Each structure stands twice: as structure tokens, then as C-alpha cells.
Amino acid sequence: MLHRLHCVLLFALALALSLIHPRCGAGEASNPLIHADLPDLAMIRVGEDYYLTSTTMHLSPGVPILKSRDLVNWQIVNYAYETLDDTPALRLDPGKHAYGKGSWASSIRHHAGVYYVTTFSQTTGRTHIYATPDLERGPWKATAFSPALHDHSLFFDDDGRIYMVYGGGNLRLAELQPDLSGLKPGGVHQVIIPNASAVAGPGPGLPAEGSQLLKIQGRYYLFNIVWPRGGMRTVLVHRADRITGPWEGRVALADQGVAQGGLIDTPTGEWFAYLFRDAGAVGRIPYLVPVRWEDGWPVLGVQGKVPDTLNLPASRGLLPGIVDSDDFLRRPGERPWPLVWQWNHNPDPRLWSLTDRPGFLRLTTGRVDQDLESARNTLTQRTFGPTCSGTTVVDASHLKDGDVSGLVLFAKNYGFVGVTADQGQHYLVMISAESHPPTERERVRLSQTVVHLRADCDFQQQADRARFYYSLDGETWKPIGTPLAMKYTLAHFMGYRFGLFNYATREPGGYADFDRFHIQAGFPDLAPAIPRSP
């Protein structure tokens, strides 16, 4: 009897705690959904397949397309473009760059058997539309027009008309031509929600933007983000019976700053909001929030809160779908690059090779640059949380005096461990750009030219600290330099990325060979370095 009473009391206590702390759910999946930089999400479901796109900024190829069957485990399956355009800024021509610009928030749609991925660019001043019947394999038809419609949402209405909702503060509706080649002359082009931020309170620090437009059971729903002064990033939703209005709105979620996105449903009729959160140096990371419907309004969260767990399948981790190791060996018919890699700006294909020395990535300098930020052909992929580590082996025997080659944690305030040549002698260096100009924190004279390099990232509770290491024998690791305090900045507007690089400060023509890149969750501690290829 006492045992039964004890069990009843425990059950009552557990129930009470679940009501007080709704984040303690019973699901297998957990938030954040993906602990890596994937901001400005757009998502669709086609049958049982979910597709997601995200912001690219200054990276190429651009607008990653991810696929999932369960809303939790995602894999990059394609990009909308190889390069956005061939402009001086996108090529990193001397004195030019597209850091923090390039292409921003995307939209994705499936209509009449065709997939559409759209974005806009401050760098080109245009709205870009990419269309394909096969989202995973292409080919793509590219269209671009002026102006650049900020944070737009592409929308195909039931009457055959095509629109984009865009803007900030005053949200606008623009009708497109039937072939999506530009704005329709004489078509609808008007403000549909003036001062859309008003429903969140007066004086927004960030006016309503990030539009995502849906039509559900004959009614229009428009999702936006706003940041009220003194508050947090907040989700707004407006609804209307006609696309031109009148619209009525309300705050849909204000918790932990999780905001900006839209709705997605499952084949079984469940609803979720896909959103993201600013998470420090790792970047802006996706969350899923359960949704229920009440009086024709989507109600986000569990008692208005973002839950820690979800009734969805457990995550299998981000490897190999979003980040991955690479041995730089390519078989006949393979893509040149696994889809986890992106170049910093447009690459120069003359100056990288996977065939000059099979099993190695060769990066050759083609000009003189004074720092890493201005150098072309830096190959990057995401860091991820809560902790991660990247390791490579560099053969620096063909560097010229003044060349610098190595492994970087890349952002505006970057840090790297690398090898430099100076008057015929090779040195290991650790460089920190916590403040500018970058400074050398340690230099170690080398008696060999093949060195193992490692970078560890700690994003736990936004610690945002990194440490660099080297190994001369593939067995023993030694720290070099000082810890790097990683900082998210609007100058690059993205989370830190692992990068492999080689640049010249005196004369071009030297090259470095990278033997594999290894990435893992957690830290390898004193584990042996990765072996070199034969």
C-alpha cells in the first residue's frame, strides 16, 4: 500500500513538474535541431521528403539544399548555384569583397512539377531565381532581375498569379510575370501590412522582416521576425482571407530569441514551426517548435515555450550529412567536392587541384595578399556544437618565402595554425585576429616540412573558445599560441568555419599539399594524428 502510494505521489510530482517545466518533454529529438550555422531557413515538404534552404552570404557554391525524411536528420544534397555572379567583389579582387553580403535569405517552392529556389543579393542588386525539375540533380535555369527584394517569400496562388512578399517594417506584395523574369507591369505592387511590427509593441529595434507566406485551408498566413526594443527576437504571424488584406496579426512566440521561419506539416498531420536562434560564434542554429491550431491561429511552443525535446526520431549527428571528413581521393564520376565544402568567395579553378598529386588537395598561390581575409581559394566547412575538432596534414615543402599555409577557424576574428617559409627556413605559427591587424602569438622553428595541424572548438553554453595544436610525428600533440576567443560579427555574418588555405605575401607560385581533412564531434585529446596518404 505504501509502495503504491509512493508511486502515485511520484507520478503526481512528475506531472506537476512537466506542467511547470514544459521543456522536459518525452521526445527523442532535441533542440537545437542542428547545432551548426544554418540561418534564414525556408522549408517545404513534397510527399514524404522535406527540403530546406539557407543563407549562403559570400560562399560558393551557394544556397545549400538539404533533404530529410524525418525533420531531424538532414543531408546536403545540392546547391542552387555554383557562383552567384562573376563580379570583382565575389571574386575577391584586390580591395574588393562580399563579406556579410553575397546572397541572403532564400525561399523554396514546388509548383507544377518544378522546384524554385530564390534569393536576393546586396552585392548584385538583384533578385535571383533558380528553377529545376530535379532538386537533387538539376539542371537549373537561372533568372535574375532588379531590384533585390529583401527577405522575400515566393508564392504561387491558386488563381495562377505569382507573388513575392518582401520588405522590412512595411511589408509589400509584388506580382511577378508568369515566367518569373521580373515584376509584372501593371501588376499588384503595394504595401499590404504597414508597420507590421506594431503588434509586438512600439519602437522595434529590428522592424518586421524575414517573410514566409503560406496558404492553409484557403487562408493566408505570413510569418515574420521582429526585435522589440528591450525585448528579444520574436515571431509574428499575420493572417488574411485575401492576399491584399486586410491582415490581422499577433505575437506567435517570444522565448529564448528563437525566431524567423515558417510552418511545416508532416504526412500524418502534425505541425511544426522551423526557426533559428543566435548562438554566438557557432552561428545561427535551427530549432523546431511544435504547433497546434486554435481558432484558425497557429499556436507555437509548449505553453509558449521552446521545448528541449520533440516527439520525433533521434538525431544521428551531423556527420556525414552536414559536415564530413575528406581524403581528397576522387573516383571516376564523383563530384569534385563533397557537398559539405564551400569556397570563401568564388574560387579560381586554375589554382587548386586534386589530380596533380592524387589523394592531396593542392593549393597554389596566384597573387600576393597581405592577410588571409583577402586570399582566394580558402576551402571551408562548418564548425558545430557543442564541441568539435578538425585535423589536417600539410606538406609545405614547396612554399615560397612569405607563403603561409594551414588550418584556420575562419570568421572576421579568425585564428589559425600554419606553416610559413622565410629565407629558406620553415616555421610553425599561430595567428590570432581577435583584434585587427592579426598578430602572431607563437612561432616554432621546423626541421621538417610535413606537419599535422589541429583546431578544437568549444561552443558549450556559448563558451566560444578555440585552441590550436600541432604534431611532428603523428602521435604527440602540442598546443601552440594562445586560446582564440571566437566572436560572431556582422562583418562576416556567419558562424566560424574550418578552412584550408595557402596565400603568398611576397611572390606567387608556391603551393601546399593537404593530405586529408578529418572532422569529429568532441575533442581527440591526445589521439594520434590522421595518417598520411601513400
The 10s digit of each residue's pLDDT in 300-309 is 999 999 999 9
**pLDDT (tens digit per residue) in 67-87:** 999 999 999 999 999 999 999
Domain assignment of residue 6, yes or no: no
Do 424 and 382 touch, CB atoms closer than 8 A? no
**190 with 267, same domain?**
yes
pLDDT reported for residue 529 = 47
Mean pLDDT for the stretch of residues 422-447: 96
Instruction: List Cβ neighbours of 435 (8 Å cut-off, separation of 6 or more).
Output: 413
Q: List the CATH number of the domain containing 275.
A: 2.115.10.20
pTM of the model: 0.92
- From residue 71, alpha-carbon distances to 52, 108, 264, 320, 333 in Å are 10, 16, 9, 16, 30
Range of the domain at 492: 342-521
Q: Is the pLDDT of residue 484 over 80?
A: yes
**347 with 305, same domain?**
no
Average pLDDT in the chain? 93
**360 with 289, same domain?**
no
Nearest to 226 by CA among 214, 237, 234, 218: 234
CB atoms closer than 10 angstroms to residue 26 = 9
**370 with 512, same domain?**
yes
**303 with 351, same domain?**
no
**349 with 301, same domain?**
no
Q: Copy the grid coordinates of residue 449.
A: 616540412
**pLDDT (tens digit per residue) in 277-298:** 999 999 999 999 999 999 999 9
Q: Is the pLDDT of residue 8 over 90?
A: no
**118 with 71, same domain?**
yes
pLDDT reported for residue 204 = 61
Number of domains in the chain: 2
Asked which of 310, 330, 350 is the last residue of a domain, the reply is 310
Q: How far apart are CA 429 and CA 451, in angstroms?
A: 12
Q: How far apart are CA 419 and CA 391, in angstroms?
A: 14
Q: Is the pLDDT of residue 123 over 50?
A: yes
Mean pLDDT for the stretch of residues 247-266: 98
Mean pLDDT for the stretch of residues 437-442: 96
pLDDT reported for residue 14 = 35
Domain assignment of residue 108, yes or no: yes
Domain assignment of residue 203, yes or no: yes
Per-residue confidence at 23, pLDDT binned at 50, 70, 90? very low
**171 with 277, same domain?**
yes
**83 with 228, same domain?**
yes
**192 with 94, same domain?**
yes
Domain assignment of residue 8, yes or no: no
Do 418 and 407 touch, CB atoms closer than 8 A? yes
Per-residue confidence at 25, pLDDT binned at 50, 70, 90? very low
Domain assignment of residue 100, yes or no: yes
Domain assignment of residue 181, yes or no: yes
**266 with 128, same domain?**
yes
Domain assignment of residue 409, yes or no: yes
Per-residue confidence at 530, pLDDT binned at 50, 70, 90? very low
Domain assignment of residue 326, yes or no: no
Q: Is the pLDDT of residue 212 over 90?
A: yes
Helix or strand run (H / E) with residue 4: helix 2-20
Per-residue confidence at 27, pLDDT binned at 50, 70, 90? low
Q: List the CATH number of the domain containing 374.
A: 2.60.120.200
**283 with 377, same domain?**
no
Q: How far apart are CA 150 and CA 101, in angstroms?
A: 12
Nearest to 457 by CA among 407, 500, 531: 407
Lowest pLDDT segment from 2-16, 173-187, 225-239, 383-397: 2-16
CA dihedral angle for residue 25, residue 261, residue 85, residue 35, rounded to 10 degrees: -20
